[in-house]
Every structure is written in structure tokens, then in C-alpha cells.
């Protein structure tokens, strides 16, 4: 019999924040779909510009409170509380403003695979800051430190491979991290094939080998 509680209750404002990210799914242990909330950072960005081509996820954004502005494939949409925005995998999306936005996501036709950051979060956060600034070597160092303490974290292995690829570190070690990431979390196989971070190494035969 499962030791997990049959049901749990949380308030969005009470969940521990990780920078601008409120990890609802991880906090509640939800495994059927992704669900997280976001608030604005100092730059007013709530949802960073991105698409979900690599993950294939459909995403639904719900403006819970405040007022946001979405940019969706170049179109600007004002989104006060109570707005629902649905974005297909290839839609470029970004949200700014002063709002709390709940995001729900999963890929059609696939079982959702949860990836908890837990104790790896501080390293991940540090690496993402460096990645956003295109300091790929620093991002790699942060992930390396994270892996020293969390050696079986699929996300850290995947990001190691991403950042190493971007930093021009194309030794066997990079592909070994990618292989390990896929072993720990098979959806990374599909994600890696569509991930622009791997453009520098995509033609390397070791890339395909790592994804087998």
C-alpha cells in the first residue's frame, strides 16, 4: 500500500519559491502532468521566451492574479487575471508583467515523466543564470558541482551535455552524460534530437550513439 497521502492541499502563495518559479508539481508530488506557477523576476519576465518543440508539450497558462502581457508567435495579447492561454509545442511564447501564472503541460500520446530538482535546484538555478548570459563554461561548472552531490540526476546530466556542447567541449565525457540522461529519463531522447543546444554536435556519430 502506498505511503503517500491520498490527497493534499496547498496554497500557491505558501509553496517555497525557487526564484520566479513556484514548483507546484514537485511540492505536491503530482506525476500525471506538469503544473507550476510563475511570478515576475526583477526584469518583469514571468515566462521566458521559449517554445516546446523539443518536448512536444501542449501548455496551458492561467493568469491567476495580476496582469500579464503575452507575446505569442509575435502577437501581443493583454492577459488580466482569468485569462487562459493555450500554446502548442511550436508556438513561441513569453509573458511579462506583474502576475502569477499557473502553467500546465504534458505531451499528447505520452506518459508524463516528472523530473524533480529537489537538492539539485541551487546548482540548476546557478547554471540557468549563466546559460541565459551565454556563459556556457560557468553553466557547465555549476552543473558539474551539482552532479558531484546528485550523481544520478537526469536533468543535470542532460544539461551537462547541453552546456558542454555549447561551450565547445566535445570530448567523450559530454556524450556519456547525454547517454546517462537518456538512460535515466527516456523522454530526453526525443528532446535532444530537437534541442538547438546540440546543433554543434548533432552530426557527430557519438550523438546518435548516445541516444540509442
Partner 1 sequence: MNAAVTTFDELDAIPVEDGFVWRPIRRRFGIRAFGCNAYTSEGVGRQIVEDHVEGTGHEECYVVVRGRARFTLDGEEVDAPAGTIVFIRDHDVRRGAVADEEGTVVLAVGGFAGKAFEVSAWESFFAALPATQEERWDDAIAIHQEGLREHPGHPSVLFNLARIEARAGRPLDALTHLQEAVRRDPPLVARARDTSDFAALRREPGFPG
- Is 184 a residue that touches partner 1 (CB under 8 A)? no
The CB-side HSE value for 68 (13 A sphere, CA atoms) comes to 30
Binding mask 154-183 for partner 1 (x = CB under 8 A): ------------------------------
Q: Which of 20, 48, 65, 125 binds partner 1 (CB under 8 A)?
A: 65
Q: Which of 19, 49, 110, 173 binds partner 1 (CB under 8 A)?
A: 110
- CA distance between the termini of the chain: 36
With contacts defined by CB under 8 A, name the span among 98-106, 153-161, 170-178, 202-210 that binds partner 1.
Answer: 98-106
* Pick 58 or 126: Cβ nearer partner 1: 58
Q: Which has the closest alpha carbon to 161: 114, 122, 199, 123?
A: 199
d(C-alpha 197, C-alpha 192), whole Å: 8
Report yes or no: 57 and 191 within 8 Å, Cβ to Cβ: no
Pick out residues in 26-55 that bind partner 1 (CB under 8 A): 28-33, 35
Tell me the site size for partner 1, rule CB under 8 A: 53
- Is 6 a residue that touches partner 1 (CB under 8 A)? yes
Residue with cell 535532444: 192
Report yes or no: 32 and 112 within 8 Å, Cβ to Cβ: yes
The CB-side HSE value for 209 (13 A sphere, CA atoms) comes to 9
- Is 102 a residue that touches partner 1 (CB under 8 A)? yes
- Min separation Cβ 74 and partner 1, Å: 8
| DSSP, res 15 | S
d(C-alpha 143, C-alpha 6), whole Å: 35
- Is 96 a residue that touches partner 1 (CB under 8 A)? no
Where do contacts with partner 1 occur on this chain (CB under 8 A)?
A: 2, 4-13, 24, 28-33, 35, 57-58, 60, 62, 64-65, 70, 72-73, 75, 77, 79, 81-91, 93, 102, 104-112
Amino acid at each position: 500500500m502506498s505511503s503517500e497521502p491520498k490527497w493534499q492541499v496547498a496554497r500557491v502563495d505558501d509553496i517555497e519559491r525557487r526564484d520566479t518559479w513556484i514548483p507546484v508539481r514537485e511540492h505536491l508530488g503530482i506525476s500525471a502532468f506538469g503544473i507550476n506557477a510563475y511570478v515576475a523576476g526583477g526584469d518583469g519576465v514571468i515566462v521566458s521566451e521559449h517554445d516546446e518543440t523539443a518536448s512536444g508539450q501542449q501548455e496551458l497558462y492561467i493568469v491567476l492574479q495580476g496582469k500579464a502581457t503575452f507575446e505569442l508567435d509575435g502577437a501581443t495579447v493583454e492577459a488580466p487575471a482569468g485569462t487562459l492561454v493555450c500554446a502548442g509545442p511550436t508556438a513561441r511564447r513569453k509573458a511579462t508583467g506583474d502576475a502569477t501564472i499557473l502553467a500546465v503541460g504534458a505531451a499528447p500520446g505520452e506518459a508524463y515523466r516528472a523530473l524533480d530538482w529537489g537538492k539539485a535546484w541551487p546548482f540548476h538555478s546557478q547554471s540557468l543564470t549563466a546559460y541565459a548570459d551565454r556563459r556556457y563554461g560557468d553553466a557547465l561548472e555549476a552543473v558539474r558541482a551539482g552532479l558531484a552531490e546528485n550523481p544520478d540526476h537526469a536533468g543535470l546530466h542532460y544539461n551537462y551535455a547541453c552546456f558542454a556542447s555549447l561551450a565547445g567541449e566535445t570530448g567523450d565525457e559530454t556524450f556519456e552524460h547525454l547517454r546517462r540522461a537518456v538512460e535515466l529519463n527516456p523522454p530526453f531522447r526525443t528532446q535532444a534530437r530537437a534541442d538547438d543546444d546540440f546543433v554543434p554536435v548533432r552530426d557527430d556519430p557519438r550523438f546518435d550513439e548516445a541516444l540509442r
